[in-house]
Chain A
Amino acid sequence: MAHGQQQLAKVFVELADTLVADFDVIDFLHLLTERCAGLLGVDAVGILLTDQRDHLQLVAASTQKAKDLELFQLQSEQGPCLDCFATGQPVLCADLSAEPQRWPVFAAGAAEAGFVAVHALPMRLRDQVIGALNLFSATPGGLGEDTTDLGQAFADIATIGLLSERAAREQDLLSQQLQIALNTRIIIEQAKGTLAERHGLSMDQAFITLRVYARNNNRKLADVALAVIDNHPNVADLSHPQRTQP
């Protein structure tokens, strides 16, 4: 248990370290999904945010399968994460096959992606729900109370990361942060396409290239993405993607 607590402290310190001024919110949320999966012992984690126009958008996922399933859930308009967002309450399902009628379309999609247990935790700001943190497991089983609390802590940290303290107090800043985060996702997709075309990469390779380059050069993912789109000289060394890939 002492080891577990040490791990926990390490992850929280790592996440807090990224919350410096002018940090990269998308990169932060990606890191959070990966660390959350590792610490909670689930197979994948995803984060959905409201676009303030009646829909949720995927902003981060720890694995490709989780990303696919989240998108599938958004498309089919049913699933635990949507229920969680709609109600603002945790939605826990230890075994999807035990209650096939709850979300028939989603359950089938989850089974195909190899997940049988799904837990969705709300990202809340007082009476407002801005998104959901979703935990996916390949084996059936509920979350213990401690694990659920820890998962909720991750959801809360994601919310903090997204909203500055000022944004939490002011309507315009809250809306601004949400819209900027969602638009940053689009910039990254555009940069993936740009890079993929320039260097004959797949979209996944293009994303890894961007992310590794941003990390190695201590730059924000969004800034690197914009520089790639503008073909800016300060990302000229990205023209040899094989060197920057892990």
Chain B
Amino acid sequence: MVGFVLLSLSRTTSRSIGDMLRGAHMPGFGLLEVVGGVMPSMGGFSRAERVWALIAEQAAAGGGAVSAAYVCGACVMATGTDGAVLSLATSSGGRAVAHATDEVAASLDDLQFTLGEGPCVDAFAGGGPVLVGDVDSAEAAVRWPVYAPAARAAGARAVFAFPLQAGAIRVGILEMYRAAAGSLSGEQLSDALAFSFAALSVVLTPSHPPPAGAEPAQGHLSLDGLGEGRAQVYQATGMVAVQLGSGLAEALVRLRARAFTSGLPLAEIARLVVDRELRFSPDHGGG
């Protein structure tokens, strides 16, 4: 890769580089469909809204509050997969399964933790999704010599692992599988990413329920990216962690709890922290 770039640059023609990117010299691309659009699609609802609606629908049908189980269930339906497992990193360095939709999903997670290799292990270590359209491929066999055949024996041919993360906060993995080989389509990949963010938001929900009358949206973790208010949420997370002497995850939970109890949007709480008009102290539980 690097050698090729240097070669191209030494000729200094923009077209040779452009041609390479457009695939003139690189046959056999297996690419995503065109990634994303710019505007919210689907009748004016954004992808995040649609994903939350699917989760809420599952929760309503199951008669419970939004939980890991309903995130997994809705995710399986939306992404056209056969099962999902949400596993969380524990403080002692181990892993705990928050929910698995079925036995295959549960054993996939268990396998990787036991073997110490697999897509989940790599996704958690690397901080990006690991997508395996076929665990029976030569490449998968080289990458995970023990896990790949074991996953197939457990009943999974395709496996997709997404880290639950926001910057340096990394709390677990959402993994989906298919019994038959097959990659995620571009749409399915986008949905899977949105579900991994929803799962993160569920995991990082303050343990104290919001007071009666609080708008759920007030503590809603807008993890869609780095808009102006969102960058401040992440900056404020770093500041509050120092104020509390805590980790970033706890700081973010405290920020969200404050949004719930104060009735202000999370972005506004974050602005107050960044402007040094609001401080958190370790003494007051729940923000």
Contact = CB atoms under 8 A, between A and B. Distances in A.
Interface of A: 8-9, 12-13, 15-16, 19-21, 50-58, 71, 74-75, 77, 82, 85-86, 124-130, 149-150, 152-153, 156-157, 159-160, 164-166, 168-172, 174-180, 182-183, 185-198, 203, 225-226, 229-230
Q: Which among A55, A130, A152, A178 has the greatest number of chain B C-beta atoms within 10 A?
A: A55
Interface residues of B, number: 72
Contact of B228 (A19, A71, A164): A71
Given A75-B228, A183-B127, A189-B235, A129 B32 contact: no
B238 A191 contact: yes
Contacts of B239: 193-194, 196-197
22 contacts: A12-B9, A19-B2, A54-B41, A74-B227, A86-B38, A128-B34, A160-B20, A165-B4, A165-B26, A166-B1, A169-B29, A172-B129, A175-B128, A179-B193, A180-B128, A186-B167, A186-B168, A189-B231, A193-B235, A193-B241, A193-B274, A203-B274
Contacts of A77: 38-39
B21 A160 contact: yes
B254 to A, nearest CB: 14
B38 A156 contact: no
B145 interface: no
A35 B248 CA distance: 34
Nearest to A226: B168
Nearest to A171: B32
A54 B128 contact: no
Contact of B238 (A157, A183, A193): A193
Contacts of A12: 9, 12
B221 interface: no
Q: Which among A57, A75, A160, A182 has the greatest number of chain B C-beta atoms within 10 A?
A: A160
Contacts of A165: 1, 4, 26
B35 A130 contact: yes
B87 interface: no
Interface string B1-40: 1101110010010110110111100101111111111111
Q: Which among B32, B228, B237 has the greatest number of chain A C-beta atoms within 10 A?
A: B32
B131 A171 contact: yes
Given A124-B21, A153-B18, A170-B30, A51 B36 contact: yes
Contact of B234 (A130, A159, A190): A190
B51 to A, nearest CB: 9
A77 B41 CA distance: 13
A4 to B, nearest CB: 12
Contact of A55 (B9, B14, B224): B224
Nearest to B41: A54
A192 B21 CA distance: 34
Nearest 7 A-B pairs (CB), nearest first? A193-B238, A153-B14, A186-B167, A176-B128, A172-B131, A193-B235, A194-B238
A160 B17 contact: yes
Contacts of B71: none
B21 A156 contact: yes
Given A16-B5, A225-B168, 11 more contacts: A13-B9, A57-B226, A82-B38, A85-B38, A160-B21, A169-B26, A175-B32, A179-B127, A190-B235, A190-B237, A196-B235
Contacts of A85: 38
Contacts of B40: 54
A149 B167 CA distance: 35
Given A75-B228, A193-B274, A179 B128 contact: yes
Contacts of B152: none
A53 B196 CA distance: 11
